[in-house]
Amino acid sequence: MPQPNSSFRHGVHPPELKKLTERVGIRRMPFPTEVVLPLSQHTGKPARLIAKVGDRVERGDKLAEADGFMSSPVHASAAGTITEIGLWPHPDGTFKTAVRIAVERHSPHALRPRIIPKWEGLTSRQLVAAVQDAGVVGLGGAAFPAHVKLSPPPDVTIDTLLVNGCECEPYLTTDHRTMVEYPERVQLGIRIMMRALGVSRAMIGIEQNKPDAVEALTRTLPADLDVAVHALRVQYPQGAEKMLITALTGREVPSGKLPMHVGVLVQNVASVGTIAEVFETGLPLVERIVTVTGPGVRKPSNLIVPVGTKLVDLLDACGGVTDDAREVILGGPMMGSAVADLNAPVLKGTTGVVVLTARDVKPPVSFPCIRCGHCVGACPVFLNPQLLGSLAQAGRYEDMVAAHLNDCMLCGCCSYVCPSNIPLAQQFRAAKVQLQRMKAA
């Protein structure tokens, strides 16, 4: 059994910066006048469009269906009329096909009445199909379709469900508030997932800096199931799948393999809560909780946001940005990416929006590597970022693969500790992209 203080080796300790929103209760954002829903919001194939311009849609109506197994449908997040289907700024910096809906005034939160299946009566396969139909993806950032994880291939046996409540990214409090305010929903989601997977054991991992979340989930633990809450050491990246598995079970996911190969499935608490909602209310994934925070936001908040809300509307709902705001980051500050166009919408996988002022933005000045070895001591997967960095600068991408570039998860620990401010994680990301291009060519 893991000790209460269990963790993984290496990693870093960035400032938590969660004070701004960790005690701010979740509130519901009013509907914006327009929502924009890209067909590609998840890992895998974009959804296939079934709606057309001019259609009047209700909240929860399907706009696009899953295109194959590695895909996930997209639903209307507000009632209104489709005004345009075309390219629209995507948070990843490109333009992607998206459905624009002019939202009706007084758009109802309620859905079109429909029959909600009782989950207790469903088989594992029916449960997974319902999860896919509701468009549930991982809400922790990567947006991996939930039903794919719930359908392990027949040669793989999963014995434990791990629920990820670490939220090790600084600033973000989405998962924290979810656990504090909706612990029963999280527990129901765990129950449903355990049934869908046929596992008898579940563990919830939460960093020790969230004692109220630990308390809430411990208080609501089911008496009839083997579910346990574990407080983990505060250490970045504790919430990285492989690190969490090691901390909770002592198992190590082999290089190039997935968590299921060591018999576990990891799901983020927000996703678990959403799965419960699907069966409680029939609500597909049309809204999510987003932390809007950072020194550049006037009123830092935890909001329930319709998927597809434009960032500009979301920031307005939080009092707008300060005059010296300079950078808007989607996700946490360690792994999140900056956006240039605030017309880009909130996606299913958007955990938070962090606005930094000019003072918080790192100066773009690098010094030569002094081989201090701080990066080597920080890398949670035991790579040599110093060596990888010099190979990247020399353009020796194949040699980087030999030096285990593919085991790098771009957590950013190396860049974070580098006293010479060398953008190591950025170089590794660029190398991965370049290698993919070379493979495609």
Residues found near another protein in the complex (CB under 8 A): 12, 14-15, 93, 170, 242, 252-257, 326-329, 333-340, 342, 354, 356, 360-362, 364, 367-374, 376-377, 380-384, 386-387, 391, 396, 399, 402-404, 407, 410, 412, 415-421, 423, 425-426, 429
CB of 381 to another protein, least distance (A): 4
CB of 404 to another protein, least distance (A): 5
CB of 331 to another protein, least distance (A): 8
Based on CB atoms, which residue is closest to another protein, 110 or 361?
361
Based on CB atoms, which residue is closest to another protein, 127 or 318?
318
CB of 85 to another protein, least distance (A): 27
Based on CB atoms, which residue is closest to another protein, 25 or 254?
254
Based on CB atoms, which residue is closest to another protein, 125 or 371?
371
Based on CB atoms, which residue is closest to another protein, 275 or 383?
383
Query: Cα(441)–Cα(318) distance, rounded to whole angstroms?
Result: 45
CB of 59 to another protein, least distance (A): 31
Instruction: Provide the H-helix boundaries in 166-210.
Output: 174-181, 183-197
Instruction: Return all residues near 179 (Cβ < 8 A) that are at least 6 apart.
Output: 165, 186, 206, 210, 213, 216, 217, 269
> At residue 37, what are phi and psi to the nearest 5 degrees?
-115, 100
Question: Which residues make beta-bridge pairs with 163?
Answer: 204, 267
Based on CB atoms, which residue is closest to another protein, 208 or 384?
384
Tokens of 314: 């979301």
CB of 54 to another protein, least distance (A): 34
CB of 345 to another protein, least distance (A): 16
Number of other CB atoms surrounding residue 120 within 10 Å: 9
Query: Cα(275)–Cα(213) distance, rounded to whole angstroms?
Result: 19
CB of 391 to another protein, least distance (A): 7
Based on CB atoms, which residue is closest to another protein, 189 or 385?
385
CB of 382 to another protein, least distance (A): 4
Nearest alpha-carbon partner for 147 in 41, 275, 270, 239: 275
Instruction: Answer yes or no: are the C-beta atoms of 202 and 191 closer than 8 Å.
Output: no
Tokens of 104: 């009706």
Query: Cα(49)–Cα(169) distance, rounded to whole angstroms?
Result: 34
Three-state DSSP state, 435: helix
Give the strand order in the sheet containing 26-28: 26-28, 301-306, 287-293, 352-357, 325-330, 337-339
- Distances, alpha carbon 170 to alpha carbons 72, 166, 334, in Å: 29, 11, 7
Nearest alpha-carbon partner for 163 in 274, 261, 14, 303: 274
Half-sphere exposure of 323 (CA within 13 A, CB side): 0
**Length of the chain (residues):** 441
Based on CB atoms, which residue is closest to another protein, 78 or 328?
328
Based on CB atoms, which residue is closest to another protein, 87 or 340?
340
